[in-house]
Amino acid sequence: MTARKIVSVIGATGNQGAGLIDAILGSKELSSRYALRALVRVPSSSSSQSLAARGVELVKFDLHSADVDAAAKALQGSYALYAQTFTDFGKEDEQFPQGKRLVDASLAAGVKHFVWASLPHVREVTLGRLTHLDYFENKALVERYAEEAKQSKMACSYVMAGCFMSNFISGHMLQPSHDDQADYTWSGPFHPNESHFPLIDPRVDIGKFVVGLLEAGPAKSDGQKIQAVSEWISPADIVATISSLTGKKCVATRVELETFRSFLPGDFGGPFADVLCLNGEYDYYGKGSFSHQAQSDVFFYAGLGPKKSWKKYVEENLPFPFEK
């Protein structure tokens, strides 16, 4: 029997990482080929321990404190790494050095396939108009660094998650309407009928793109930039789906970027307004990007089931918790 390839996962107790772990453990075939290692901050936590109970190896690791040597030690023997950094607003600049260390450590540990949770380079996509999305930029800079550093020693792939469906549950999207035209309004710098939002269920579909890249192998996956999207959908259709499944009338309305930003509090307003505008006016990955989704979908591992539709996501999350 050939030895299983070790896939190390950062953020294994969070949405994306747990989805990847479920994807591999949910398939006999995949789990006969890949063994999982979770790089976790607190191995004794209940979420880490439930991974261990499912056969996932735990290695203690913290993005803040691990230098290149410590990270390389944690990765020793790994075939692949699903690498992420996490957004701490106000400290977005920490993400580039953290990600750079992960690239260097992966090279030092002999990792063959580095899969980076990247995001679009917003200043380039928007020609410098949107400047409040440093957590996007820093992830994009890690991607650039990986491309320079990898030489021919390691394949690198980039999975750029779209707008999380969960934002409509945990976020600040829908607000009670101020008039009797609707129950809830979703406002922002988008065009209700013309904009295309790249929604994804992060808990389920991101892992299937990562598996698709692993299964395609380093030669085919090297340099691939994946638009990780479950469904492209207009704001009008997003709210229409919520309306039809909840019985609450929800509408989507355009508000110009600067006006929208002025409604929002301090540090939060910039990134929130910019990210809606990136979706609403630039198709998130760049204008027209929805029209070449098929190139990314080549790497979606459909053996684990179809993509999650927005309708199915809302159905699964009823009663839909509106903000009050």
Ligand X SMILES: NC(=O)c1ccc[n+]([C@@H]2O[C@H](COP(=O)([O-])OP(=O)(O)OC[C@H]3O[C@@H](n4cnc5c(N)ncnc54)[C@H](OP(=O)(O)O)[C@@H]3O)[C@@H](O)[C@H]2O)c1
Footprint on this chain of ligand X (rule: CB under 6 A): 10-17, 40-42, 45, 47, 61-64, 86-87, 119, 135, 161, 163-164, 167, 202
User: 276 and 260 in contact (C-beta within 8 Å)?
Assistant: yes
The residue number with the shortest CB distance to ligand X is 14
Q: For ligand X, give the closer residue by CB, 48 or 185.
A: 48
CB of 70 to ligand X, least distance (A): 12
Q: In sequence order, what DSSP letters do the residues of 227-282 get, joined into one string?
A: EE-SEEE-HHHHHHHHHHHHS--EEEEE--HHHHHHHS-HHHHHHHHHHHHHHHHH
Q: For ligand X, give the closer residue by CB, 70 or 245.
A: 70
CB of 213 to ligand X, least distance (A): 17
CB of 222 to ligand X, least distance (A): 22
- Beta strand 163-164 with 250-254 is unpaired
User: 103 and 158 in contact (C-beta within 8 Å)?
Assistant: no
CB of 27 to ligand X, least distance (A): 20
CB of 162 to ligand X, least distance (A): 7
CB of 287 to ligand X, least distance (A): 19
Residue 169 has what DSSP assignment? H
CA distance 168 to 323: 10
Q: For ligand X, give the closer residue by CB, 177 or 190.
A: 190
Phi–psi pair at 79, nearest 5 degrees: -85, -40
Those residues with Cβ within 8 angstroms of residue 95's Cβ, 6 or more apart along the chain or in another chain:
85, 86, 87, 135, 138, 139, 142
Q: For ligand X, give the closer residue by CB, 36 or 182.
A: 36
Q: For ligand X, give the closer residue by CB, 182 or 189.
A: 189
Helix (H, G, I), strand (E, B) or coil at 105: helix
Q: For ligand X, give the closer residue by CB, 62 or 237.
A: 62
